[in-house]
Amino acid sequence: MGRLSVDLCGITLDNPVIPASGTFGYGYEFAEIYDINVLGTFSFKGTTKDPRFGNPTPRIAECNAGMINAVGLQNPGVEKVISEELPKLKKCFNKKVMANVSGFAVEDYAYTCEKLDKEEQVGWLEVNVSCPNVHGGGMSFGTNPDAAAEVTAAVKKVTTKPVIIKLSPNVTDIVSIAKACEDAGADGISLINTLLGMRIDLKTKKPVIANKMGGFSGSAIFPVAVRMVYQVANAVNIPVVGMGGVSNAEDVIELMLAGATAVEVGAANLIDPCVCRDIINDLPSVMDKYGINNLSEIIGGAK
């Protein structure tokens, strides 16, 4: 393994940098800009059992050091992802991809994961129990240890590939939920998803986005991500994928010191589509600056 390599649930990544779900489409769109094979992997757009148009517009609101989105898991449904999106991806990406899955009932999660588990291109299943932008599912599973564990167990029964549960930061006790997922068989924990935020238009005196509230992401939430990754990594014995406000190589190293095995980059992709490539290019010099020989050696190094 090279200086940048890490092992994520038994699969070697050339580097720990992973574009986060919802900010990288199904990959081939970014392949028109640069060779996406430089990435460790990426988490593709949140996929549900059935097609979803998503929430009404407007769906995006700007704010200092971040943004709020309420896209609402717009996607073509798992059948079309398998028949149309993955074949396009295969033409431009020769590594295993992380499949991000959402649902509105335990049975939805199990159905979608079972379908994607059979796809050769899929390396990991990132099960999102933490989306704050949908009603009747998503975050409602991720804020209760028993519910998160139920989803985890149901998915593990029908899959053979590593299952990484993506958790919400909009909770009081993130550790109890992470431990419940681990006890139910999760192979990894992914966090944090977006915080819940809102903006109001002073001219209209109404919420900026039609959904009223949405997921707050961007550099402003980075300290929350570091704290939660640190808490969870010190409480579980499975890998943690860290994310939340990451925008440069220093952020990647900080999250790894907090305990992350790999690091996802989200909102920064929407500002600069080449940011993940640039972070990977910058990592060796930043490692030299801080006397780091291999990234795998610093995971959880902050005590």
Which positions are annotated as active-site residues? 131
Q: What are residue 289's phi and psi, to 5 degrees?
A: -60, -35
CA distance 244 to 186: 21
Strands (DSSP E) found in 11-149: 11-13, 17-19, 60-63, 66-69, 97-101, 122-128
Backbone angles phi, psi at 80, to 5 degrees: -75, -30
Give the pair of three-digit tokens for residue 287: 């490692």
DSSP label of 52: B
Q: Which among 68, 99, 111 has a CA at the least distance from the CA of 208?
A: 68
**Parallel/antiparallel/unpaired status of strands 6-8 and 11-13:** antiparallel
